[in-house]
Amino acid sequence: MIFWLILTSLVFASEYDDSNDFEKLKDPIRFANRFFIKNTLIEIFGDTEQVKSLIDKNFFKVGGQVGGPCDIYEQVYHSPEELLDPNVECPKGKSASKFDLFPKSNLLRSSYLVKTCYELSINRELPSNLRSELFFKNLSRAFYPYGGDKELMIVVKSKYSDLSGISRKKALLTYCVSSKWQEL
């Protein structure tokens, strides 16, 4: 009887393993946090005060939703009210040091990025490196410096092939809101 119980348990376990694909239960996708996103967007759209303030206002200041804990020990004050580097500021005090290092995809995070990308790409002039005839190549390199955007490139080229100013801005917005460049 004990032998039969052990044997049926092993058979059940092997059937359970075969019927469930444990390969699908891999770690969830890790997304870049607010520091990576901010640095990437500044690199693409330019290192100007207007770009930095748009990113800070629309994306960087909502660290709880977009991830990226701050280090309260990195804060160096120039004066009692003024931080030497506001990028290391913990806007919500000590609780900001407990933000997720690798944020998960969520609706709020996506909406903050969409708003930021819209204001950077549609409401402003195109960055100088995206005004040339090599627009699609430069756009691809800006968001995917190591390649890996073939499907997106095909879709964007077919939809925005006329290369007018508004088409370029829409293509830039499409790349900016795509999630693949944010994956680590």
User: Could you read off the pLDDT tens digit of each residue along the chain, which spans 184 residues?
Assistant: 554 444 444 444 444 444 455 455 456 788 888 889 999 999 999 999 999 999 999 998 888 888 888 766 655 555 656 655 555 556 556 667 777 777 777 888 899 999 999 999 999 999 988 988 899 999 999 999 988 789 999 999 999 988 888 999 999 999 999 989 998 8
Task: With CA atoms as reference, report the closest residue to 33 among 111, 93, 105.
Answer: 105
User: What burial letters (b/e) apply to 73-112, b meaning 16+ CB within 10 Å?
Assistant: eeeeeeeeeeeeeeeebbeeeeebeebbeebeeeeebeeb
On whether the pTM is more than 0.95, the answer is no
Residue ranges per structural domain of the chain: 34-68+98-182
